[in-house]
A and B are shown apart, each in its own frame.
Chain A
């Protein structure tokens, strides 16, 4: 193995892959949320946002390919870590008790991650790979959220994402070595704030759409 492969297959290298890809998903979520907030401004604002976004053309393709690539790295590395970590303790404890380090977000990390892949697949089927001829994107969103099941699924998925991010955000900084007495408390608070913004920002969209329709 050459030095690069050795670096990225080491325990810290895998953490680095998770951190870098994870943080870029945080950046993506921010951009996605800012775009989606135009839904609150009504049909025209959202349709015009979608039009402007698609007018970027090849840039969108580059971004999509990048996200897909990062997504594969994040999921595959995550699964490796998950199974390696189970194998690292073949005999489990009879009594398990936490000392207060773990959080709901950190304990559920692999599971919320798997739920999110399932959700992202559904989400892409709903809004990306759908036949868009003859209807605007706003109509497609409106149609989707007339179904109560979709509202429930989307709200739950967004809450799941919020938990995933609540651990992932600060954890990425710790992995990158950014743990400083002056900045770490801020990063931890920012992580919680970010997960709340993601949860509330995305979570109210389906509810808002279904109420205003």
Chain B
């Protein structure tokens, strides 16, 4: 049987990038425990629209945990309190009747707030643009399995490639560092033979881009891997460091 909850929401409202934001309180009554967190915000927004008020702006797209669009900080935890889930996969059954829930946007100098809970994560795209790709010749498609790759290596690369670029690692990091994101993007290519020819240029270019965009520095607090909805490990950060040292001290890339 479906249970319902009565909740108090404190939601960050901010009109635009340069305006002052504040927490506003809303009552969320009759919230079904079967709803996802985003569906709960949908319900509030319908109420607000009926009352003639501005609905809460929030990012979302696939609502099945694979697109990386959604994400807010719920009671101090990016994507909420559940491990390995995105905000759209967080169900209201994990909350209790009468709870107060504080909802804030990702906070980082590199992520400008566009409106309310929506932040501009374009900085992550700029890190990818700096080197998160492989150059491939056009022409006939190469044969599958022409380059042997062990299952273990393929799995490691896939684990890194599971990153959906949601930015929760930046939001969770006490220093607002983007090292888990960058390391996942460097690792997924560094582990595979197709990524090796450009490995040195990639490592240096992506790390420099990350630094220039205003992210903080990693101090190995391990909050990122604890909050990552795809449970990407800081083993990738160690690998990125190795790739960076190799590139900086032993390659010809300047």
Contacts and interface: CB of A to CB of B under 8 A. Distances in A.
Contacts of B73: 93, 95
Contacts of B97: none
A15 B107 contact: no
B218 A15 contact: yes
A101 interface: yes
Nearest to A171: B220
Given A88-B109, A89-B107, A101 B222 contact: yes
B224 interface: yes
Interface stretch (A2-10, A135-143, A154-162): A2-10
Contacts of B90: none
B104 A94 contact: yes
Contact of A93 (B76, B210, B223): B76
A95 B76 contact: yes
Interface residues of A, number: 42
Contact of B224 (A3, A101, A177): A101
Main secondary structure of the interface of B (DSSP, over half): mixed
Interface string B222-253: 11111100000011011111101100110000
Interface in B17-62: 21, 23
A85 B104 contact: no
A85 B219 contact: yes
A94 B102 contact: yes
A89 B217 contact: no
B220 A11 contact: no
Nearest to A16: B245
B153 interface: no
Contacts of B249: 7
A97 B234 contact: no
Interface residues of B, number: 51
A93 B104 contact: yes
A90 interface: yes
Contacts of A106: 219-222
Given A174-B234, A179-B238, A14 B248 contact: no
A24 interface: no
Contacts of A10: 207-208, 211, 244
Rank and list the top 9 A-B pairs by shortest CB-CB distance, nearest first.
Answer: A97-B76, A101-B222, A88-B216, A179-B238, A177-B242, A99-B226, A85-B175, A95-B76, A88-B176
Interface of B: 10, 12, 21, 23, 73, 75-77, 102, 104, 107-110, 172, 174-177, 179, 207-208, 210-211, 214-227, 234-235, 237-242, 244-245, 248-249, 254
Interface of A: 3, 6-7, 10-16, 81, 84-85, 87-102, 106-107, 109, 167, 170-171, 174-179, 181
